[in-house]
Chains A and B, each alone.
Chain A
Amino acid sequence: MEIEINTTSSEAVYAQIVRQIREAVQSGALKGGHSLPTVRQLAGDLMINPNTVAKAYKMLEADRLVRGAGRAGTFIEDNALMQLELSNNQDAKYELSAVLKSLQGKGLNKAQLQQLLLDEVERLSAEPDPDEDRQISFKGDGFTSRFPRFLKRT
């Protein structure tokens, strides 16, 4: 499993690391208990400052996707996939809430918003996709999230 950092990208380097590790957990390439490289190893391999890698690891630790075990190293949490889904759902709720509030501010009422959402979900469902669980990329924070189930129920 490899990650690739592009120094010319507008996305911050630590965010590229976080995003790619999250994607690897999501896809199953990194499973619970996998030992991640040390901060120095990854920083050396990517030719970046160790503080950047440390920052990325801290963010992943805060999201409970990885656990630091001192000198033993940094490991993918056993329930990382579940944590990721929870975190993605929270991200989706947060972003959706912001969008809905913004649209409400533009004068759309609840019924119109609900109809718009349902139409959008139907449009997405109609698109050919090999995966059953559609993934939506939230480019704003660079995280890939599952579409929240509560929306499908509405």
Chain B
Amino acid sequence: MGETIYLIVAIVQVFALIIAMPKAFRVTIYMMLRKNPEWIKAHPEFTVHKTIDRISTGFHVGLGIIGAAAIFLYAIIIPSPDYYWELMAYPLFSMFAVFTFVMSAQYFWLARSIPKPEAVKASLTSRRLSDFVPMWTYYLGNALGAVIIALHVNAIFKGFEGAYFGALGAILFLYTWVNGWLYYYLRWKYSENEEVFGSATRKIEAIGGVALLYLVAILCANILWKVYFGAYFFAPLTMNMMIIASVYIGVIYYSLHPKTNKTLAKYEDNFGIVN
């Protein structure tokens, strides 16, 4: 039963990687062009956005193909007892890395390649995290993270089974990633999802970002529970699969939503089709 669920989510993951992710990223790439639309229109030779889109699409489709090959290999040719890591976890971590790379490329390469326009508009509405969520929720989420990291370090030095530096690195990566996302997300002038779904979206995303801190805490606490007490608190299959499946369903829903397509079509009309 468990292996069947892994397999179903792995197939959904392949669809998310090949169809949904490149499209979701294309929206964010177009959003960067809003910095100076007139200049972009006047300079058709400017292709940085097209290059980043091709890198993003290439990475995601490549990961999707590897994921599909993994399904074929581990589910059909040599069925493995370690389905979770082979089918789900490795592509998921690779996706985090791709996300970080593509977003960095957009921010540090694309946005900086477009010259500043003569007249620039800015909103006088504050976009601090405290404008969207009570700050104690953010501090508590990170405090839980600090406790988890401290307990994991303690377990490593005491030589507990299941505690190792790789897992600690993964925990640190997840917390850094969520905090970095929250920090830069709120600093961005244009929110692509705000453009797609309306003004309340930024608040929903800020709340989602803080909720992600707690989700990471629950995930890590579950690992620690096994390290300290010898068994998982939540069955990893149930919990991890629910989280991963909800993320993929969310991404697929986003990419197929008529509002996303409408926004993308609007930008393609203005700036030309990327591919």
Binding site for B on A (CB under 8 A): 1-8, 21, 24, 30, 34-38, 40-42, 44-48, 72-73
Contacts and interface: CB of A to CB of B under 8 A. Distances in A.
B125 A5 contact: no
A4 B121 CA distance: 4
Secondary structure dominating the interface of A: mixed
A39 to B, nearest CB: 11
B126 A3 contact: no
Contacts of B127: 37, 41
A52 B186 CA distance: 21
B42 interface: no
Contacts of A38: 126, 128
Contacts, number: 66
Interface size class of B (residues with CB under 8 A): 10 to 19
Contacts of A48: 120
Contact of B187 (A4, A6, A8, A44): A44
A45 B118 contact: no
B235 interface: no
B123 A44 contact: no
Nearest to B127: A41
A110 to B, nearest CB: 45
Given A35-B131, A41-B187, A7 B118 contact: yes
A138 to B, nearest CB: 23
Given A3-B124, A35-B126, A42-B122, 14 more contacts: A1-B125, A3-B121, A5-B119, A5-B121, A6-B118, A7-B119, A7-B120, A36-B124, A37-B125, A37-B126, A41-B126, A44-B189, A45-B120, A73-B130
15 contacts: A4-B122, A5-B120, A5-B122, A36-B124, A37-B122, A37-B126, A41-B126, A42-B122, A42-B124, A46-B120, A46-B122, A47-B120, A72-B130, A73-B126, A73-B128
A-B complex: 5 closest residue pairs judged by Cβ atoms: A45-B122, A35-B126, A45-B189, A1-B124, A6-B119
B262 interface: no
Contacts of A8: 118
A47 B189 CA distance: 10
Interface centre among B123, B124, B126, B130 (most CB of A within 10 A): B124
